[in-house]
């Protein structure tokens, strides 16, 4: 390891420690209202992280990341109502979307479907879930004890109780849990991208045929990346259900999927940190815009999305990193697009 890169590793470790300390200490210095707002920002940042990985590194444009988020939220709600808000419900909320994503991924990637056609299928599947969830009103639609509630959704979902505790998580505890899980997911994905598996995923994004000719199974790598993205989105959905104690079919809506894509575009494809920053920034902006009546929020979001695609297509994080990166090496490496 060279001196510069070891310095970099130390820097990263220090930044990580700072984040963990921040997450643990924040509840001491903020009031409950701000804490609840911060919690949902971090939950959505985890959702942004899942698409940042699937799209930015896997090269899979998924119009239906909201489907996995919603499945996670519903799975947690149903699990928590049926067999208590423990670790089992949490695991269910990760497993259901992961398995669903794996099945859908098998269907798509082993069918050699790519590009815009992936977009159609993921969009269609999300809308199917939206329609189905909306039509489940009435007492005949129940899973165990849990009434699905159709358009009205599932209210009063019990909050997670960690093992070894008697009472459910307080807002402070939930914030810390969300923050730590987000950091863990981020660090986990960073480490995963350094492994052979992660590098093959990126290689497939860069050139699928070349990766296959080198002997890697592009279909399998895409499928696993997609399922992992589904699992992280499902975890975010579970935390979201915990945050609001409520879930309705709106989690499957087109608007929800659109938001996730905007976060990634604004933050920057091909980085993990960018979409999280984009997510928090956009959410902050939406909250601020919600306080006034003159300009419609959708109008601003739309203009932001179009402006970024036209003017800053790489997104914030890669552009800013570009300013600080050392000047391009004189030798052409053929790796301009590896970020």
Partner 1 sequence: MDLAAIFSIEVVGAIATLVLMSIGLAVVFGMMKIINLAHGEFMMLGGYVAILATNRFGVPIWLSMLVLAPLVTGLFGVLVERLLVRHLYGRMIDTMLATWGLSLALVGIATMVFGNTTVGISSPLPGFAIGRFQGSGYTLFVIAVAVAVLAGLWLLFRFTDLGLCARASMQNAAMAAALGANPGRIYTLTFGFGAALSGLGGAVLAPVSGVIPTIGASYIAKAFITVIGGGSAVITGNLAASGLFGAVSQAVTFATTPVFGEVALLVAAVLLIRLLPQGITGRFFKKSI
Binding site for partner 1 (CB under 8 A): 61, 107-108, 111-113, 115-117, 119-121, 123-125, 127-128, 131-132, 134-135, 254-255, 258, 261-262, 265, 295-307, 309-310, 313
* Cα 88 to Cα 105: distance, rounded to the nearest angstrom: 25
Q: Min. distance of Cβ 107 from partner 1 in angstroms?
A: 6
Count Cα atoms within 13 angstroms, Cβ side, for 23.
20
* Cα 92 to Cα 3: distance, rounded to the nearest angstrom: 45
Which CB sits closer to partner 1, 59 or 72?
A: 59
Give the list of residues 6+ apart from residue 224 with CB closer than 8 angstroms, or none.
197, 201
Which CB sits closer to partner 1, 15 or 120?
A: 120
Which CB sits closer to partner 1, 257 or 271?
A: 257
Closest CA to 158 of 250, 94, 76, 71: 76
CA 202 to mean position of chain CA atoms? 18
Q: Is residue 115 a contact partner of residue 259, using CB atoms and an 8 Å limit? A: no
Q: Tokens 């999305």 correspond to what residue?
A: 305
Which CB sits closer to partner 1, 61 or 146?
A: 61
Q: Min. distance of Cβ 214 from partner 1 in angstroms?
A: 24
* Cα 269 to Cα 195: distance, rounded to the nearest angstrom: 20
Q: Min. distance of Cβ 290 from partner 1 in angstroms?
A: 13
Q: Min. distance of Cβ 62 from partner 1 in angstroms?
A: 12
Q: Min. distance of Cβ 91 from partner 1 in angstroms?
A: 28
Q: Min. distance of Cβ 66 from partner 1 in angstroms?
A: 13
Q: Min. distance of Cβ 105 from partner 1 in angstroms?
A: 12
* b/e 276-288 (16+ beta carbons within 10 angstroms → b): bbbbbbbbeeeee
* Cα 152 to Cα 201: distance, rounded to the nearest angstrom: 40
* Cα 17 to Cα 23: distance, rounded to the nearest angstrom: 10
* Cα 55 to Cα 50: distance, rounded to the nearest angstrom: 9
CA distances from 123 to 11, 102, 119, 167 (A): 40, 16, 6, 39
Q: Min. distance of Cβ 220 from partner 1 in angstroms?
A: 18
Closest CA to 236 of 256, 221, 220, 254: 256
């Amino acid at each position: 390891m060279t001196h510069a890169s070891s310095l970099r590793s130390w820097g990263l470790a220090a930044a990580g420690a700072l984040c963990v300390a921040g997450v643990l200490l924040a509840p001491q210095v903020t009031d409950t209202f701000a804490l609840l707002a911060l919690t949902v920002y971090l939950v959505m940042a985890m959702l942004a992280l899942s698409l940042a990985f699937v799209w930015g590194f896997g090269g899979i444009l998924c119009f239906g990341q909201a489907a996995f988020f919603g499945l996670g939220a519903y799975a947690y709600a149903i699990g928590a109502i049926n067999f208590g808000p423990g670790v089992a419900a949490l695991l269910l909320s990760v497993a259901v979307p992961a398995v669903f994503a794996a099945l859908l991924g098998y269907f798509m990637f082993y069918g050699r479907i790519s590009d815009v056609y992936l977009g159609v299928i993921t969009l269609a599947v999300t809308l199917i879930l939206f329609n189905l969830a909306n039509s489940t009103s009435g007492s005949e639609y129940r899973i165990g004890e849990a009434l699905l509630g159709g358009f009205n959704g599932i209210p009063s979902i019990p909050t997670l109780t960690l093992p070894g505790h008697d009472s459910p998580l307080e807002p402070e505890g939930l914030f810390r849990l969300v923050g730590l899980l987000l950091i863990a997911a981020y660090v986990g994905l960073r480490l995963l991208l350094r492994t052979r598996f992660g590098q093959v995923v990126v290689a497939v994004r860069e050139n699928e045929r070349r990766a296959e000719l080198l002997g890697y199974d592009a279909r399998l790598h895409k499928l696993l990346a997609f399922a992992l993205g589904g699992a992280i989105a499902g975890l975010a959905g579970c935390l979201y259900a915990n945050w609001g104690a409520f879930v309705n079919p709106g989690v499957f809506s087109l608007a929800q999927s659109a938001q996730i894509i905007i976060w990634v575009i604004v933050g920057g494809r091909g980085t993990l940190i960018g979409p999280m920053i984009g997510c928090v920034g956009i959410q902050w902006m939406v909250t601020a815009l919600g306080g006034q009546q003159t300009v419609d929020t959708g109008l601003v979001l739309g203009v932001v999305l179009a402006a970024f695609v036209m003017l800053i297509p790489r997104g914030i994080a890669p552009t800013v990193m570009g300013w600080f990166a050392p000047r391009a090496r004189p030798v052409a490496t053929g790796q301009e697009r590896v970020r």
